[in-house]
Amino acid sequence: MKIHSILILGAKSDIGMAIAHRFAKAGYSIQLAARNIIELESDSKDIALRYNVKVTVHEFDVLKTSTHKKFLDNLPEIPSVTVSSVGYMGEQKINENNLEELTKVIRTNFEGPANIFSEIANKFEIRGYGTLIGISSVAGERGRAKNYIYGSSKSAFTTFLSGLRNRLSKKNIHVLTVLPGFVDTKMTKNLDLPPRLTVKPFELAKIVFNAYKKKKNIVYIGKIWFLIMMLIRSIPESIFKLMKL
Amino acid sequence: MKLSGWAKYPIINTRLHKPKGIAEILNLIKFKGVIARGNGRSYGDSAIGSDHTIEMSNFNKIISFNEDTGQITVESGMLLSDIIETFLPKGWFPCVTPGSKFVTVGGMIASDVHGKNHHKVGSFGKFVDWIDIINANGEIVRCSQKENSELFNFTIGGMGLTGIIIKAAIRLKKINTSWIKQKIIAAENIDKVIEIFESTSNVEYSVAWIDCLQKEKNIGRSLIMLGEHADINDLPIKFQKKPFDYPKKYKIKIPFNFPYWFLNYKAVSLFNKFYFLRNKNKTNEQLVDFDSYFYPLDKIIGWNKIYGKKGFAQFQCVIPISNSKIALNELLLTISKSNCSSFLSVLKKFGRQNSFFSFPFEGYTLALDFPISKNTLNLMTQLDEITLKYKGRFYLTKDSRMSKETFLKSDIRNDDYIKYRKLTGSFDIFNSSQSNRLGL
């Protein structure tokens, strides 16, 4: 039986690491990719010991798009599945006034992931199968004053994934868009999140794995967000612009 | 924020931190009134810092595993359930396990937990090879029986008061299957129970479930549950190919706090009768999976909620062997007279143990739990007195309400520990709500 593998882009993130654990539990070999691989050593050992799987670590910088091709060529194999859990939120107030930060948010959440996904998608297309899992955000569903720079970058990523799916669905390539609401991670640790609407990374990983198995196209993390976002999207712009959400 | 132990009593104000790395911990111990917390399964206030509580949940990695010796090195926030999930399929099992697997390695060391095999092998600390701990000076110190042995011996059973345990090397034991051969013996009173414990001391695991509501000649009516690890040949043929598989049982989740009257005298009395009758005839050997044998309560997620919002209190003492019979009779008689109902009452024999500050010594240990009320708190004070009278002592991991006077009288070793704490500076940094209450 072929041993499947998964490449985790942004493996240092809590979400990426949780997904690595979930797939390792199912017997996948794991390729962890992040900027600073020294920080991944203890995690890779831990995963290998826990689940008896092969784990490799790879230097990867989502912003250095010119290195992406070479990064892929250096992998031990083209993975069966690739997930991008790369993300950067910044702070809205700073993003509004600082071009550098604004660019960093947009490039980290959209340009970088879109570039590496394009490269991998082409390799998958040649090979004839593969799955791409993009961790986007419900923040991309409508622009709000509170976080529209982060939100719009995720929105672009969601649209990108949708187009990619449309292009590749006939070619045995599966694209899964993951839309988390609130997740309890390093990125959100300074935000005051409502506990009932907040999930833990391992819970998210479980939902993502099941959605992958069932070949779902879009999955909200928790289901309630589907409803919440539907309501938010349905508010007419003339009213929405006056609201504080 | 407000924080409590597993028994939800008392609720204490503290600042909770979940550090991601060592550097963050080093910053936190610049404060005073700091204590480490694992998964919050000690019952009372021993894992609540008087000012700052450091939850170690992010320190949960396996660092190494030696397939020849069974030694694993893990970070202190690693759950026992994760250890079992990882190493049971390879044929390894903890040498000592408490009654829940949702406890951390750091917590098991700080409590020096015991299991149903204490009479055979002693407590958890015996299987700890070394510990890395952050002391009061902010140094990471490796300690073991050979190296910094005083620190090592006070850390085992030291209730987290010597520092923040970062990682540890512990030994697992080789087993052949994940199944336990169980035998249940019914005993009509406490004297019989002790007789049975004494005559079955060669069996690996033993524990007695007591019906505390029995009166007169039936005082201490119990079911004694004996167990041994099963060998491959003990399994039905269909399991022999996969000896480490075990049935994944459904879990029950308690969704909210039950009303306080739920566990009343009548209900407990009914349950006890039913449970005794159901099990007393299971004298033949049965095969049970390790999960059901060691961790029956783990199947009920949030079982602490059945005691209601006010929570409950645990009482656990150990009585020297020479006084056991008379003391246990007196303890049980006092409970029976009080009309307070203890839902889970457990009796177990401890083997010999000499340690710096751990709970166990040779004798009998009785564990009880009561929903919090004025009556039950009074009753537990009475039980304290009886324990002191018979030279017993108390398990701090379960305690949430003992007075300083009782504690100081119960354990002459506390002088040495306090002296050591003052000498090393840990007295000024590491304090739990419990250590403040007990003057430890």
Q: How far is A217 from chain B (nearest CA, A)?
A: 30
- Summarize pLDDT for A185-236 with one digit per residue, the tens: 887 877 778 888 889 999 999 999 999 999 999 999 988 889 899 898 889 9
Q: What's at B54, amino acid-wise?
A: I
Mean pLDDT in residue range A71-90: 95
A244: how many CB neighbours lie within 10 A of its CB? 6
Q: Please indicate if any CB of chain B lies within 8 Å of the CB of A45.
A: yes
End-to-end CA distance of chain B: 24
Question: In terms of Cα–Cα distance, which of B150, B172, B201 is closest to B83?
Answer: B172
What is the count of residue pairs from A and B with beta carbons less than 8 Å apart?
Answer: 20
Alpha-carbon distance of A4 to A161, in angstroms, equals: 22
Range in A10-14, B98-102, B249-253 the model is least confident about? B249-253
**Residues with Cβ within 8 Å of residue B101, at least 6 apart in sequence:** B79, B80, B81, B84, B294, B295, B298
Chain B hits for A51, CB-CB cut-off 8 Å, are 86
For residue A21, give the chain B residue with the closest CA: B61
**What residue has token string 């993975």?**
A79
CB contact under 8 A, B61 and A186: no
CB contact under 8 A, A46 and B62: yes
Q: How confident is residue B9, by pLDDT bands cut at 50, 70 and 90?
A: very high
Chain A hits for B64, CB-CB cut-off 8 Å, are 45, 49
Range in A235-244, B30-39, B388-397 the model is least confident about? A235-244
What's the pLDDT at A1? Answer: 62
- Summarize pLDDT for A113-135 with one digit per residue, the tens: 999 999 999 999 999 999 999 99
CB contact under 8 A, A45 and B62: yes
- Summarize pLDDT for A26-68 with one digit per residue, the tens: 999 999 999 989 989 999 999 999 999 999 999 999 999 999 9
Q: Which of B1, B22, B55, B62 to mutate to test the interface with A (most CBs of A within 10 A)?
A: B62
In percent, the amount of chain B with pLDDT more than 90 equals 81
CATH, domain range B76-174 = 3.30.465.10
Tell how strand B252-253 and strand B205-210 pair up. unpaired
Q: Please indicate if any CB of chain B lies within 8 Å of the CB of A224.
A: no
- Summarize pLDDT for B159-175 with one digit per residue, the tens: 999 999 999 999 999 99
**What residue has token string 């028994």?**
B7
CB contact under 8 A, A186 and B20: yes
What's the pLDDT at B261? Answer: 67
Q: How confident is residue B260, by pLDDT bands cut at 50, 70 and 90?
A: low
Q: Which of B55, B79, B86 to mutate to test the interface with A (most CBs of A within 10 A)?
A: B86
CATH topology of domain B179-401: Alpha-Beta Plaits (3.30.70)
SS3 content of chain B, % helix, strand, coil (to 5): 35, 25, 40
Question: What does the DSSP assignment read for A70-100?
Answer: HHHHTSSS--SEEEE-------HHHHHH-HH
Exposed/middle/buried for residue A198 (C-beta within 10 Å: 0-12, 13-18, 19+): middle
Q: Which of B59, B60, B61, B71 to mutate to test the interface with A (most CBs of A within 10 A)?
A: B61
Chain A hits for B65, CB-CB cut-off 8 Å, are 49
CB contact under 8 A, A45 and B65: no
SS3 B119: helix
Alpha-carbon distance of B85 to B88, in angstroms, equals: 6
| Minimum-distance CB partner of A50 among B20, B64, B86 | B86
Instruction: Looking at B164-253, list the stretches that DSSP marks H as alpha helix, in order from N- to C-terminal side.
Output: 190-199, 237-240
Q: Which residues pair with A217 in a beta bridge?
A: none
Angle between helices A14-25 and A201-213 (to 10 degrees): 50
- Summarize pLDDT for B275-320 with one digit per residue, the tens: 887 777 777 888 999 999 999 888 888 888 888 888 999 999 999 9
Alpha-carbon distance of B72 to A46, in angstroms, equals: 12
Mean pLDDT in residue range A151-178: 96
* Residue boundaries of the structural domains of chain B: 76-174, 179-401
Largest CA distance in chain B: 60
CB contact under 8 A, A42 and B61: yes
Chain B hits for A43, CB-CB cut-off 8 Å, are 61
DSSP letter for B220, please.
T
Chain A hits for B86, CB-CB cut-off 8 Å, are 49-51
What's the pLDDT at B283? Answer: 72
Q: How far is B60 from chain A (nearest CA, A)?
A: 9
A69: how many CB neighbours lie within 10 A of its CB? 12
Mean pLDDT in residue range B69-96: 97
Q: Please indicate if any CB of chain B lies within 8 Å of the CB of A42.
A: yes
Q: Please indicate if any CB of chain B lies within 8 Å of the CB of A186.
A: yes
Query: In Å, how far are A16, A32, B3, B59, B166 from A43, measured between CA atoms?
Result: 12, 9, 30, 11, 16
Alpha-carbon distance of B437 to B161, in angstroms, equals: 14
Phi, psi (degrees; rounded to nearest 5) at B29? -85, 5
CB contact under 8 A, B62 and A43: no
- Summarize pLDDT for B20-33 with one digit per residue, the tens: 899 999 999 999 99
For residue B87, give the chain A residue with the closest CA: A50
Q: How confident is residue A168, by pLDDT bands cut at 50, 70 and 90?
A: very high
Q: How far is B307 from chain A (nearest CA, A)?
A: 23
SS3 B73: strand
Tell how strand B164-174 and strand B179-187 pair up. unpaired
Phi, psi (degrees; rounded to nearest 5) at A219? -135, 125
**E strand or H helix that includes residue B75:** strand B71-75
Q: How far is A232 from chain B (nearest CA, A)?
A: 30
Compute the CA torsion angle A193, A194, A197, A198 (nearest 10 deg). 40
Q: Which CATH number fits domain A5-240: 3.10.20.30, 3.10.520.10, 3.40.190.10, 3.40.50.720?
A: 3.40.50.720
Tell how strand B164-174 and strand B128-134 pair up. antiparallel
- Summarize pLDDT for B183-222 with one digit per residue, the tens: 999 999 999 999 999 999 999 999 999 988 888 888 889 9
Q: Please indicate if any CB of chain B lies within 8 Å of the CB of A200.
A: no
Alpha-carbon distance of A207 to A82, in angstroms, equals: 16
Q: Please indicate if any CB of chain B lies within 8 Å of the CB of A61.
A: no
Average pLDDT, chain B: 93
Q: Which of A22, A32, A43, A49 to mutate to test the interface with B (most CBs of B within 10 A)?
A: A49
Chain B hits for A45, CB-CB cut-off 8 Å, are 61-64
For residue A49, give the chain B residue with the closest CA: B62
Q: How far is B20 from chain A (nearest CA, A)?
A: 9
